[in-house]
Chain A
Amino acid sequence: MTSEIKEHELLLEEVREAHKRDFAPFVKFRNLEPHDLMLDDLKTALKDVEAARTLGTGKKSKLSTLMKSIGRVPLDERAEFGQRAIALNNQIIEDYQLAQAHLKLEIGYRTLELERLDVTLPGRRPRRGHLHPITLVRQRLEDIFVSMGYAVEDGPEIETDFYNFTALNIPPDHPARSVQDTFYTSDGYALRSQTSTVQVHAMQRRRPPLRVVAPGRVFRRDTPDATHNPMFFQIEGLVVDRGITMAHLKGTVTEFLRRTFGAGTRTRFRPSYFPFTEPSAEFDFTCFKCGGRGCALCKGSGWIELGGSGMVHPNVLRAVGIDPEEFSGFAFGFGIDRMCGLMYSLDDIRLLFENDVRFLEQFN
C-alpha cells in the first residue's frame, strides 16, 4: 500500500515540477510583467504557449494521467488527494489561459498601433529619373518629321574618306579634311564631321522618291567652350524626287519650325556656301522669345540662326548614281545641341555631356 501512495504522490509532484519548468518562459505574460519584445516575438510566444498547453494539459499529458489516477487512490486518501490534484489541474489551466489571454490582448493592441494610418501624411515617392534633354529634343524632332512623311535613318559614326568627304563634293585639299578639323582613327578612318554622310548612305539604300531624316553624333576638333564641343548632335533632312525646288525646301523648313516653335514662326533664307549643296542657304527663324522684335536671345536682330541647307549638289547626286537632270533634291541640317540650348536657355552647352545629376534632373 505504501508504495501505491508514494506512486500517486510522486506523480503529482512530477506534474507540478514539469509545469513549473515548461511554463517558466510564459510567467511574465501571465503576470503582466514588463518586457521589450517586438510584435513578431509576441506572436511566436503565443504559438509557443499554445503548444506548451497542449503538451502540458492534453489527453496524453502527465496531468491527464494524474487525474485518471485519482480513482485508484485508496478511499481514505482519495478525497484529500483528489482536491490537491484538481487544484493543481486548475492552476495549470489557469496559468495557460491567462498567459494566452494576455498575449492575445497585447498582440491585438500592438497590431492596431502599428496599422494605424494617417491618410493626411504626404506619400513617400520613389525618385523618378530623367531623360537627357538631347533625347527629349531628338524624339520630338523625329516625331515631327515622321509625321511629315520622313523615314528616320541611321549611319556609321566612323566613316571612310569617300562618305565623309569625296561623295559630299569636298575637294582633296579642302581645309575640313585636315587633322586640325577632323578626327581620324589610327587606322585612317574619319569620325564623321557632319550627318550629311547619311545622305549618301540613304541614297545608296533607297532610290528616289525618298525623304529621310538622320539624327546623330558628329565630331569636330573644336576646343570646348560655351558654344562648342568636340562632339555634338546634328539632324539632317533629305528629299529627292522629280521637280523638287528651293520653294519645297523653304516650305519644309518653315513647316517644321512652326511645329516646333509655334504657328507664328517665320523663316528667312540667306545665301551661303556648302560643298554638298548648290544653291546653298542658311536659314534663320523669328526669335520665339520676342517674336522678332529683338531681344537678348536674338542679339537684337529678331532672327535666330539655326542651320544650313540647299539643293543637293549635282556631284553628290552623281556620286550615288542619280541623274541630276531627272531628279533634284534638297537637304538641310542643324545642331540638336544648339536647338536644345535655345529651347532650354542653356548658357553653356558643355553641360550637356557632363552628366551632372543636378543638371540632368531639371528636364522631363
Chain B
Amino acid sequence: MKISYNWLRELTGVEWAPAELRERLTLRGLEVEGLEEAGGDSVFEIAVLSNRPDWLSHLGVAREVGVMTGRDVALPTPEPKKLDGQATAFTSVDVQANDLCPRFTARVVRGVKIAPSPAWLAERLQAMGLRPINNVADITNFVMLELGQPLHAFDLDKLNESRLVVRRALADEQLKTLDGVERKLDAGMLVIADAARAVAVAGVMGGAETEISDATENVLIECAYFDPASVRRTSRALGLQTDASDRFERGVDYEGQLRAQARTVALITELAGGAATEDAIDIYPRRIAPPTVSLRFDRVRALTDLDVPPREAIRILDALGFKLIEGGANGSGGGTRAIESSDRQPGSSARFAAPTWRTDVTLEEDLVEEVARHFGYEKIADALPASTNIGEHRAHEGQRRAARRALADSGFDEAISFSFIDAAHDERFELSPGLVAEGAAGRAPGRARVAGSGRDRRRDRSRPRGCAARAGLLRSQGRARSRGRCDEARAARVRRVGGAPPARGAVGTSVVR
C-alpha cells in the first residue's frame, strides 16, 4: 500500500522527517518496505499485515501515527457546496440479499459537469499509483485511499427506473465490467442491479454501461458493507482482483459508509458542481455490534514483561479507537476522558468495545498486543527462561550423523531433493515390498498424487515414501553424467521412511560409473 507523507502530515500534523517516520512505523508493525521521493512528496510502500485492512487507507495509518504523537487525527469535515432534495425523490434501493450486504447506502448529486480532475487531485492519485480518469471517478478513488471505503459512482440516468436492487445473480446472467470484459455470473454472486439487469459485481467492479461518461449529469454514489467471504469467493471465481475487492474481502469499517459518501459528494459539488441530496438512503436493518473485550491490566506484564501503567494502556487503546465501556476508573464508567481528568487510579481491569474498522480483535490477548505494540516491543528486555528441561537429540541422531559422515568419507555427496517427482518418472518405479512403511495418519502408503497445476506439473506427485528417494538421486546423476562428471557422480541421502515417528531410517545411495 502506497502512503503519501504529505497526506499523513495533513491528517496528523506529524513533524518527523520521512526517514524517521519510516523507522517508527516499522517498529509499530507497519513495515515500510520502500520510500520514494516524488514531486515534493515522499511515498511509503507499506507491507500491510493481512489482519489489518484498516491500514489500506491514509486514515488507518494516520491513526497509528496519532497514537505515537498523542494527537488526534484531523479529518476534513465534509460540507457539500449545494444541497437540494431528499435521496428518495430521485432513486430507491431494494436490498434482497441482506446476508451478503448488511449495509447499503446511496446518495445522489444532480447537475454535475464531468471533466478532468484538477492538478492536485490527479497528481495525488498518480503518486499513489492510480490513473486519473475524470473528476467524479477520481474523487471516489481519492476517498477510498483517504478513508478506506470503496465507493462506486453510477450514471443515474442510465439506471432503468433510476433504482437499484441488491440481489444474487440470476442463472446465466452476464455483465460487461468496466474493464470491457463480458463476464458470466453465477447464482452465488452478489450483484447490484437496476430494474432490468445487473449493473455491478458487488464489491468487485462496476459495469461498463452505467459508468460515468462525459455526458453524465446526475450521479448516484453507492457505498456499502459487503460480506467479506462472499466478495472473496466472487473475486476468485471471476479471477478479478481490484482495489475494492482487496478491501471488502478483508473487511471494511461497517460504520464508515455515510462519512465516506458525504466526503465524496462534498468533493463532487466542489470540483464538478451540482447539488447533493440532503440525505442518503441507508439500508442497515441489523446494526452490527462491535465485539467487547476485557483487559486485565496485569495480563500485559504476564505476557510481555512490559510494565505499562493502566493509564497508558487506556490511552493507547483510546487513541486506536477502542471505546472504554466499563472499569478503568474504579467502577466509574466515565470513559477515557474521565480517567485523564481525574486523579483516581484505574481499577485492575477494563472493558472495551473494538473499533468498527477492526476485524482482528476478539480476545484479551489482542488488546495486550495493541498495548505492547505501541508501548514498544523495543522496551522488552532479554531474559532466558529458567528450565527443568534437559536437551535431547532425536532418537538415533548419533547413528544418522555417523552414517552421513561415513558415506561422505567414502566419497558420497549428500543430496536433498524435492519430495515430489514427475508423474511420468513415477510410472517407472515399482514399490518394493517390505520397503514401504506405514503412511501418515495410519493410511495405507503409496503414491499420493498432489493436485497439480500447469506451473508445477513436473512435481505433481508426492514421493512414494521409502522407495523413490532414488528418483531425485537419479535425476542429479543424469545431470552429472551429461556434464562428463560420471566418475564423481556419487550421491547419498539419509532420510526417514514412513510417516509417524518413531520412523525407520533408510539410506539410499546411487553410484553411476
Chain A interface (Cβ < 8 Å from any Cβ of B):
126-132, 134-135, 139, 142, 145-160, 173, 175, 178-179, 183-187, 189, 191, 209-211, 217, 219, 221, 223, 230-231, 239, 241, 243-248, 250-252, 254-255, 267-273, 278-281, 311, 313-314, 328, 352-358, 360-361, 364
Q: Are B409 and A128 interface neighbours, CB within 8 A?
A: yes
Q: Are A245 and B441 interface neighbours, CB within 8 A?
A: no
In the bound complex, CA of A145 to CA of B368 (Å): 29
Min CB gap B224→A, angstroms: 20
Residues of A within 8 A of B401 (CB): 139
Residues of B within 8 A of A179 (CB): 451
Chain B interface (Cβ < 8 Å from any Cβ of A):
26-29, 31, 49-52, 229, 232, 236, 301-306, 360, 363, 365-366, 368-369, 372-373, 377-378, 380-385, 387-394, 397, 401, 404-405, 407-420, 439-441, 443, 448-451, 453, 455-456, 459, 462, 472-473, 475-476, 479-480, 483, 485, 488-492, 496, 499-501, 503
In the bound complex, CA of A328 to CA of B29 (Å): 23
A-B contact pairs, 6 of them (CB 8 A): A142-B397, A146-B392, A184-B450, A272-B29, A311-B304, A313-B365
In the bound complex, CA of A271 to CA of B28 (Å): 6
Q: Are A156 and B440 interface neighbours, CB within 8 A?
A: yes
In the bound complex, CA of A128 to CA of B450 (Å): 37
In the bound complex, CA of A150 to CA of B392 (Å): 6
Contact of B365 among A153, A191, A221, A278 (CB under 8 A): A278
Contact of A209 among B49, B389, B409 (CB under 8 A): B389
Given A129-B492, A271-B369: A186 and B449 interface contact (C-beta under 8 Å) = yes
Given A135-B414, A209-B387, A357-B485: A246 and B380 interface contact (C-beta under 8 Å) = yes
Q: Are B499 and A246 interface neighbours, CB within 8 A?
A: no
Q: Are A280 and B391 interface neighbours, CB within 8 A?
A: no
Min CB gap B400→A, angstroms: 10
Q: Give A233's nearest chain B residue, CB to CB.
A: B416
Given A191-B462, A355-B491, A356-B480: A130 and B413 interface contact (C-beta under 8 Å) = yes
Residues of A within 8 A of B419 (CB): 157, 191, 217, 219, 231
Q: Are A157 and B440 interface neighbours, CB within 8 A?
A: yes
In the bound complex, CA of A357 to CA of B491 (Å): 8
Contact of B390 among A149, A279, A328 (CB under 8 A): A149
Residues of B within 8 A of A156 (CB): 440-441, 499-501
In the bound complex, CA of A231 to CA of B483 (Å): 26
Residue pairs across A and B with CB atoms within 8 Å: the count is 249
Q: Are A270 and B27 interface neighbours, CB within 8 A?
A: yes
Residues of B within 8 A of A157 (CB): 419, 440, 499
Give 7 nearest A-B pairs by CB, closest first.
Answer: A271-B29, A279-B369, A355-B476, A247-B305, A146-B391, A158-B440, A185-B448
Residues of B within 8 A of A159 (CB): 440
Q: Give A281's nearest chain B residue, CB to CB.
A: B377
In the bound complex, CA of A154 to CA of B397 (Å): 12
Q: Give A313's nearest chain B residue, CB to CB.
A: B365
In the bound complex, CA of A278 to CA of B439 (Å): 34
In the bound complex, CA of A209 to CA of B301 (Å): 20
In the bound complex, CA of A24 to CA of B355 (Å): 115
Q: Are A361 and B413 interface neighbours, CB within 8 A?
A: yes
Q: Give B52's nearest chain A residue, CB to CB.
A: A273
Q: Are A247 and B462 interface neighbours, CB within 8 A?
A: no
Q: Give A139's nearest chain B residue, CB to CB.
A: B401
* With A129-B413, A149-B387 already in contact, 16 other A-B pairs whose C-beta atoms are closer than 8 Å: A129-B412, A135-B416, A142-B397, A150-B391, A153-B394, A154-B496, A155-B501, A158-B440, A159-B440, A186-B450, A209-B389, A246-B380, A250-B381, A250-B383, A251-B383, A314-B365
Residues of A within 8 A of B453 (CB): 221
Q: Are A145 and B391 interface neighbours, CB within 8 A?
A: yes
Given A219-B419, A250-B382, A271-B373: A131 and B414 interface contact (C-beta under 8 Å) = yes
Min CB gap A304→B, angstroms: 14
In the bound complex, CA of A71 to CA of B397 (Å): 89
Residues of A within 8 A of B500 (CB): 156
Q: Are B414 and A360 interface neighbours, CB within 8 A?
A: yes
Residues of B within 8 A of A134 (CB): 416
Q: Are A279 and B373 interface neighbours, CB within 8 A?
A: yes
Residues of B within 8 A of A132 (CB): 413-416
Min CB gap B228→A, angstroms: 8
Residues of A within 8 A of B306 (CB): 246
In the bound complex, CA of A134 to CA of B413 (Å): 13
Q: Are B369 and A353 interface neighbours, CB within 8 A?
A: no
Min CB gap A42→B, angstroms: 34
Given A183-B451, A269-B378: A357 and B369 interface contact (C-beta under 8 Å) = no
Residues of A within 8 A of B488 (CB): 127, 357
Residues of A within 8 A of B391 (CB): 145-151
Min CB gap A281→B, angstroms: 6
